[in-house]
Amino acid sequence: MEKLQKTLEEWRAMLDPEQYNVCRLKGTERPFSGKYNATKTDGVYHCICCNEPLFDSRTKFDSGCGWPSFYAPIEGSAVVEVRDVSHGMIRTEVVCAKCDAHLGHVFPDGPPPTGLRYCINSVCLDLVPR
């Protein structure tokens, strides 16, 4: 996949302040505040920065954590997992494979068939209904 690269100034001009903080500065939205946390709309979730398809609504589940949760990305190459040792924790960060936008984290406490919970910030996503 060809990487989409922009300067921080270019990202800041294109994203709203919350999108910029989360996607480019690795922030997080407050739990239960995101527009996609409880949505049941059938469709595909795309990266807000580059429009790359990331997650299918068929893999979304209610984990109760306060952020949209998925048990798998749309395909293996849609996201990249990166070791994250910030905030005194060891976690696995999830970023968009095309533009490196911070999306959230993945945890090993999800449902079958993967056992994974991709905990993703709503502000990083754009849902395209089917």
Report how far residue 17's alpha carbon sits from residue 37's, in angstroms, rounded to the nearest whole number: 20
Residue 124 is labelled as binding a ligand: no
Residue 99 is labelled as binding a ligand: yes
Report how far residue 20's alpha carbon sits from residue 69's, in angstroms, rounded to the nearest whole number: 21
Residue 49 is labelled as binding a ligand: no
Which one-letter DSSP state was computed for residue 22? H
Residues with a catalytic annotation lie at 119
Tally of CA atoms within 13 A in the half-sphere of 39 that contains its CB: 22
Residue 50 is labelled as binding a ligand: yes
Annotated binding residues, as ranges? 47, 50, 96, 99
Annotated binding residues for Zn(2+), as ranges? 47, 50, 96, 99
